[in-house]
Amino acid sequence: MHPPDLKHLISDAPRVMVVDGSKLVRKLIADVLTRELQNVQVIGCASIAEARDALEAGAVDLVTTSLSLPDGDGLALARSVREAAGQAYVPVIVVSGDAQQHLVERRFTEYVTDYFDKALGHEALATFIRGYVQPEPVVGATVLYIEDSRVVAEATKRMLERQSLKVVHVLTAEDAFALLTAESLGRTERRIDVVLTDVTLKGELNGRDVVERIRIDFAYGKRRLPVLVMTGDTNPRNQSELLRAGANDLVQKPIEERLLVTKVLFQLRLARLEDQAVTL
């Protein structure tokens, strides 16, 4: 039996609440979600007050909210969702043009599950939301996973392999760089699609070194090779430094399967959207 925080991992007929002061934005998001998500029901709300009324009328599977609302902000809405009966585990996604800056400066509260940069567009937003309510495997994707604890690694690998992902586990940053170097020189047919690393590693190099080497020495951008860093450090300054170094996102420890899977699959899908755009 799954723990309670996984009860929203999959929904056959998801109810998604979209909170934005702009009627046009609500319609655009609703149109994309209706087209991209099977059996979705979109509940549009213009304000925190409308959202509260809607939550009283029925439970939802996910909430997206603008950071700025007519009667408050998205962070206040997130708190309202958490306080609503039966909504404690519902993902709350903040959609904003400056979400990345808020993330880097760690201005989001514990009530917010994740953020989305609206500059990525509504199609990518639909992909992001699908990752929470109707996650689908990214067939053939390979995760390079760096973790020095074999016990932790085994548990995390199972979470990823349940999503039909191939996981290549190494114990040190040095081992990871050897694999990346072999790939860059064409010495292997395997392509690494995403890197997942713990921030604390045995050896001379740590998770931040992994991020910096990938971005600087290998010159791989965030879409070419997404990097997610797992950390139990709640210090906002340390988290900000990882993001500024080039991490795509952070995964808080202890690991919650729903969040890990969503973040990994989203980065993979977004990278593939970029590949398709380049091809076209």
User: 105, 23, 35, 110: which is closest to 66 by C-alpha?
Assistant: 23
Q: Looking up tokens 């939550």, which residue turns up?
A: 55
Tell me the two tokens of residue 113.
């599950």
Looking at 133, 162, 196, which one is the last position of a domain? 133
pLDDT above 90 for 31: yes
Tokens of 171: 């114990």
Query: 244: closest CA among 105, 36, 144, 41?
Result: 105
CB 69 within 8 A of CB 21: yes
Residues 155 and 246 in one domain: yes
Among the candidates 89, 112, 133, a domain finishes at 133
pLDDT at res. 88:
58
Question: Residues of the chain with pLDDT > 90: what percent?
Answer: 46
Q: What is the pLDDT of residue 175?
A: 97
Q: How far is CA 74 from CA 48, 52, 81, 84, 109, in A?
A: 8, 13, 10, 15, 10
Same domain, 74 and 188: no
- What tokens appear for 227 in the block? 């990097």
Q: Do 44 and 118 have their domain in common?
A: yes
- Stronger pLDDT, 13 or 278, i.e. the higher one: 13
Q: Left, alpha or beta for 80 (phi > 0: left; psi -120 to 50: alpha)? A: alpha
160, 97: one domain: no
- pLDDT (tens digit, 9 = 90+) per residue, 197-210? 999 999 899 999 99
- Weakest mean pLDDT among 6-10, 215-219, 258-262: 6-10
CB 259 within 8 A of CB 8: no
Does the pLDDT of residue 45 top 80, yes or no? yes
Residue 166 in this model has a pLDDT that exceeds 70: yes
Query: Does one domain contain both 147 and 272?
Result: yes
Which residue is listed with tokens 């993902």?
91
pLDDT at 193 over 90: yes
State whether 88 and 180 are in the same domain: no
| Summary mean pLDDT of the chain | 85
Which SS3 state, helix, strand or coil, does residue 4 take? helix
- Do both 127 and 97 map to the same domain? yes
The amino acid sitting at 54 is A
Of 93, 115, 133, at which residue does a domain stop?
A: 133
In terms of domains, do 94 and 211 share one?
no
116 and 151 fall within a common domain? no
Domain with 120, as residue range(s), is 4-133
Confidence of residue 61 (pLDDT cuts 50, 70, 90): confident
| Domain count of the fold of the chain | 2
pLDDT at position 9, please?
42
> What CATH number should be reported for the domain holding residue 238?
3.40.50.2300
> Is 144 within 8 Å of 174 (Cβ atoms)?
no
Same domain, 195 and 248: yes
Pair of tokens at residue 216: 């600087």
